[in-house]
Amino acid sequence: MHPVRTAALAGYMGLLLLVSLIPESRTSVGMLLERVPSTLQNLLHIPAFGLLAWLWIEQLNAGGQTNGRNVAWTLLIVLSYALLTELIQAGVPARTASVGDFALDAAGAGLALTVHRAVKLPRPIDTIKDMPHA
């Protein structure tokens, strides 16, 4: 595992957890978040967990080709973390756990993995260059 990727991944997961723990209206950050419309707050789950999935698939691939096993592990890790953050929010004052938020987290992870696969597929020119010459 690459140390910079590992640090970025750990830091980002910590940031997501920290944001989940912010009680609304009780901190300056909470008051700032209240200014963001709730629809936008909900939609931000998609890129937030999409980025988490992207970081995980890159970490598990370690520069190699994406395979089904790494995609499955990425989904398991990211969806488990999404569930954990929702369960934690259930115990935070003025916050609630939401099945809808979890669904948006899952959509973000799925979208990111789909885009990742499309971006990381070998391009036709790469395939031609790698072919043995007769």
Q: Give the tens place of pLDDT for each residue, 86-111.
A: 999 998 887 889 999 999 999 999 99
Calculate helix-pair angle for 68-90, 45-61, nearest 10 degrees: 140
Between CA 7 and CA 87 the distance in angstroms is 25
Picking from 60, 44, 48, the residue whose alpha carbon sits closest to that of residue 13 is 48
The Cα–Cα gap between 41 and 21 comes to 15
- More confident position, 82 or 39: 82
φ, ψ of residue 96 to 5 degrees: the values are: -135, 155
Residue 28 has pLDDT above 70, yes or no: no
Give the position of tokens 């696969």. Answer: 117
Q: Does residue 134 surpass a pLDDT of 80?
A: no
Distance CA 93, CA 90 (A): 8
Query: Can you read off the two tokens belonging to residue 71?
Result: 């995609």
**Which amino acid does the sequence have at 57?**
I
| CA R_g for the chain | 18
With a CB cutoff of 8 Å and minimum separation 6, the contacts of 9 are 55, 56, 59
Average pLDDT, the chain: 85
Band the pLDDT of 33: cuts 50, 70, 90.
Answer: low
Number of continuous H segments (helices) and E segments (strands) in the chain: 7, 0
